[in-house]
C-alpha cells in the first residue's frame, strides 16, 4: 500500500524533473520540506483551468492539475515555443500533455518492472470560472501545492478508498 507521503513525494519529484527537462520553472525551497509547509484553503486554489486524467487498476481515481489562467498560458507557451494571450486548442493540448507527463511519471516511479499500479486515460480539459468538480463519496484526497518561481498551482490525486 502506497502512503500519502509517497504519493506526494513522487508528485513533487516528477514535477521537478519535468520542469528541469521541459519548462523554465524552479520549485521554491519550501517544496523540499516534509510535510509541505503550506496553509491553504480550497478557496485559495486558482483553477481557471483543470487538466484531469483518469486512473484505473490497483489504484482507481483521477489526477488533476489546477492552474490559474496566466500560468496555464505561460506553461503552454514554454512547451510549444509560442506565445498565447488566450485559450486555444494549442493551450489545451499543451496543458493536457503536462498532466499526461505528471501522471506518467507518477505511474513509472511507483510501478515495478512486473506490475503497473494503474493505467491512465486521455486528458480531460476544463476551463472557466463557474465550475464544480465532484468525485463522489468515500474518496481519498491528496492535494499537493506546487510552489514555483513562476507561481503556485496544485495537483490533486483523488482515489477510491481501498
**Domain-located, residue 37:** no
Q: Phi, psi at residue 100, to the nearest 5°?
A: -65, -40
CATH code for the domain in which residue 95 is found:
3.40.1550.10
Residue 67: name the closest of 156, 159, 157, 161 by CA: 156
| Per-residue DSSP letter, 42 | G
pLDDT in tens, 100-139: 999 999 999 999 888 889 999 999 999 887 777 778 788 8
**Domain-located, residue 39:** no
pLDDT in tens, 34-88: 777 776 655 566 678 999 999 999 999 999 999 999 999 999 999 999 999 999 9
Q: What pLDDT score does 89 carry?
A: 94
Residue 155: name the closest of 2, 8, 6, 1 by CA: 8
Residue 122: name the closest of 144, 142, 99 by CA: 99
Q: What pLDDT score does 33 carry?
A: 80
Instruction: Please state the separation of Cα 159 from the chain's center in Å.
Output: 14
**Domain-located, residue 38:** no
| Total tally of structural domains belonging to the chain | 1
**Domain-located, residue 41:** no
**Domain-located, residue 21:** yes
- What domain range is 97 assigned to? 4-32+47-131+139-160
Amino acid at each position: 500500500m502506497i502512503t500519502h507521503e509517497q504519493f506526494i513525494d513522487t508528485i513533487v519529484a516528477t514535477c521537478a524533473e519535468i520542469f528541469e527537462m521541459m519548462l523554465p520553472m524552479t520549485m521554491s525551497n519550501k517544496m523540499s520540506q516534509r510535510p509541505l509547509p503550506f496553509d491553504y484553503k480550497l478557496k485559495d486554489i486558482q483553477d481557471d483551468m483543470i487538466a484531469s486524467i483518469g486512473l484505473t487498476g490497483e489504484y482507481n481515481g483521477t489526477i488533476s492539475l489546477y492552474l490559474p489562467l496566466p500560468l496555464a498560458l505561460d506553461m503552454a507557451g514554454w512547451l510549444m515555443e509560442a506565445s498565447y494571450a488566450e485559450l486555444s486548442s494549442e493551450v489545451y493540448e499543451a496543458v493536457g500533455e503536462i498532466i499526461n507527463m505528471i501522471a506518467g511519471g507518477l505511474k513509472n516511479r511507483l510501478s515495478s518492472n512486473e506490475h503497473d499500479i494503474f493505467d491512465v486515460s486521455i486528458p480531460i480539459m476544463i476551463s472557466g470560472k463557474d465550475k464544480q468538480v465532484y468525485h463522489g463519496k468515500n474518496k481519498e484526497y491528496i492535494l499537493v501545492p506546487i510552489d514555483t518561481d513562476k507561481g503556485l498551482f496544485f495537483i490533486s490525486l483523488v482515489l477510491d478508498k481501498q
